[in-house]
Amino acid sequence: MDINKIKTLAQLKKSGYISKTVKQELRDNLIQKIKNKEPRFEGIQGFDNTVIPDLERAILSGHNILLLGLRGQAKTKIARLTATLLDDYIPVVDGSEINDDPLAPISRFAKDIIAKNGDKTAISWLHKSERYIEKLATPDVSIADLIGDVDPIKAATLKLPYSDERIIHFGLITRAHRAIFALNELPDLQARIQVSLFNILQEEDLQIRGFKLRMPLDIQFIFTANPEDYTNRGSIITPLKDRIESQILTHYPVDTDIAKAITAQEANIHPEVAKSIYVPELLKDLLEIFVFKLRDSELIDDKSGVSARMSISAYENLVSTAERRMLLNKEKKTTVRINDFWGIIQAVTGKVELVYEGEQMGHHSVALQIMGQAFKEVFDEFFPNPDQYEDDIDPYGALKMWFNGGNVVDLNTSCNDKKYKEVINNIPGIAKHLKVAEVPESEKLVFAELLLHGLSSYNIISKTILDQSFTFSDPLNNMLGDFDEDDNLYSDN
């Protein structure tokens, strides 16, 4: 069908066009994509066996949908992608505020135009990108915003009495006729406003002030909600939940591979930066393991969740930390290091809610503690566990002796690549451990760093974080140093 040649109601009728409801459009196009084995919700990772099948069942059933899940679980993205299942174009009565179907008008405006012009009524074509309407529910949203209200200015301008329905100003939901309407954070909507949705969801018509309107609105509703909202800010009233036919639970990634794919897809890294900064696969894994441990930590409020946005922001900060160092040292290329994780703390502290014990420690300390746990877990994947060996066969014996001799490794977060490499390579026996772990040549330095952080997590060596430096040394020497400082302070008194 050439829509450019169809500009009047007569031409539309002659073309054989058949009107469909929004839900029928979504159903038909979904069926076609399933049959052709085409992707349906591109860009959604990790929901192939859980959320997506539930969503497709709801669309096939012609249901209104509630996406329920914690923050950062792609609820809004799913709602927006649903619009890709709409027909590319639909005809509307030209000038209609509510996308009136020329073959089945529902507004007073469209009916009057068609009654006056008949088959000569002008029509226009609406693209599917204009048929998705989204609103964030907030406590100040009114019935007038969503449904509509009497417009006294329109009444005065058109010189119409208040009994004439032409003076009505239509709200967002009414303007979403023949479209998808997504309402985010549904529990934040006041209970009395939620009540106003009853008729639209059940009888598919609306009520505005005292007007006796019977406008059969054709809308696909998609609501989103966070379980935390049910107790902290509001709730979805039971009669409304009863009218939303399908409730679909979302979730966080179930493994680090999916989490890495989401982060890589969503992270905003400048193309030039991506070319000049290499991020070892080890550090991508380490970042996602850190986030997984945040979600599992007893110090984090699990009702609040740890958003996938945190992984994305942390990854961006990780790369930016390396970029800043590269710029300071006037280098053209660099590789992200483990000590660059110091730069992701700011992406963590504002995105997690702590329980009481965590609040006592503070966001910064909690982040560092859980980061240490992530270092330890990854260390155990590649290096022997120090607790499993006796002193006479200890694989780390030579390294311990070197640190016992008073040697210190100082890894400054801002040092250039040459200095960083020198510091790592000056540690005796490090190459032997990397060979045992079968570390690729391109990632030897970052694995050497992991070895130091891992040994510190087992208290084999001591790690001190001061200003912009990670210092590794013998723990006994550190303890003696602390005693000496205490003695000096005491003697001064």
pLDDT tens track for 224-278: 998 875 544 568 888 898 999 999 999 999 999 999 999 999 999 999 999 999 9
Does residue 403 have a pLDDT over 80?
yes
Q: How far is Cα of residue 429 from the mean position of the Cα atoms in its chain?
A: 43
Going by pLDDT thresholds of 50, 70 and 90, the confidence category of residue 487 is very low
Please tell me the pTM assigned to this model: 0.85
How far is Cα 266 from Cα 64, in angstroms, rounded to an integer?
28
Q: How far is CA 357 from CA 87, 192, 278, 290, 305, in A?
A: 53, 38, 38, 19, 17
DSSP-derived 3-state class of residue 244 = coil
Going by pLDDT thresholds of 50, 70 and 90, the confidence category of residue 387 is confident
8 A C-beta contact, residue 86 and residue 29 = yes
- Side chain identity at residue 434, one-letter code: L
Going by pLDDT thresholds of 50, 70 and 90, the confidence category of residue 143 is confident
pLDDT tens track for 172-228: 998 999 999 999 999 988 888 898 888 788 766 666 666 666 778 899 999 999 887
pLDDT tens track for 324-363: 999 999 999 999 999 999 899 988 887 888 888 988 998 8
Contacts of 121 (CB under 8 A, 6+ apart): 8, 9, 93, 94, 102, 113, 114
Cα dihedral: 435, 439, 442, 446 (round 10): -100
Does residue 386 have a pLDDT over 90?
no
The residues with which 89 forms a beta bridge, in sequence order, are 127
SS3 content of the chain, % helix, strand, coil (to 5): 55, 15, 35
How far is Cα 267 from Cα 309, in angstroms, rounded to an integer?
9
Tokens 């591109």 belong to which residue?
42
8 A C-beta contact, residue 460 and residue 389 = no
For the segment 148-167, the average pLDDT, to the nearest whole number, is 70
Does residue 375 have a pLDDT over 70?
yes
8 A C-beta contact, residue 286 and residue 374 = yes
Task: Judge residue 139's burial from the number of C-beta atoms within 10 Å of its C-beta, 0-12 exposed, 13-18 middle, 19 or more buried.
Answer: exposed
How far is Cα 412 from Cα 27, in angstroms, rounded to an integer?
58
Half-sphere exposure of residue 207: CA atoms within 13 angstroms, side-chain side = 11
The confidence score (pLDDT) of residue 96 equals 92
Higher pLDDT residue, 442 or 130?
130
For the segment 129-156, the average pLDDT, to the nearest whole number, is 84
pLDDT tens track for 466-485: 877 889 998 876 554 544 44
Q: How far is CA 24 from CA 27, 53, 130, 222, 361, in A?
A: 5, 18, 18, 15, 55
Half-sphere exposure of residue 27: CA atoms within 13 angstroms, side-chain side = 14
The residues with which 183 forms a beta bridge, in sequence order, are 135, 223
Tokens 């660099």 belong to which residue?
334
User: In this structure, which topology does domain 3-249 adopt according to CATH?
Assistant: Rossmann fold (3.40.50)
Location of each CATH 3.40.50.300 domain in the chain: 3-249
- Side chain identity at residue 380, one-letter code: D
How far is Cα 25 from Cα 358, in angstroms, rounded to an integer?
50
Q: Is the dihedral of CA 366, 368, 374, 377 positive or negative?
A: negative
Strands ordered across the beta sheet of 219-225? 132-136, 179-184, 219-225, 65-68, 246-249
Q: In percent, how much of the chain has pLDDT > 90?
A: 57
Longest Cα separation, the chain? 104
Q: In percent, how much of the chain has pLDDT > 70?
A: 90
How far is Cα 60 from Cα 82, in angstroms, rounded to an integer?
13
Structure tokens belonging to residue 427: 């540690």
The residues with which 236 forms a beta bridge, in sequence order, are none
How far is Cα 433 from Cα 146, in angstroms, rounded to an integer?
65
Q: Is 169 left (phi over 0), alpha (psi -120 to 50) or beta?
A: beta
Does residue 136 have a pLDDT over 50?
yes
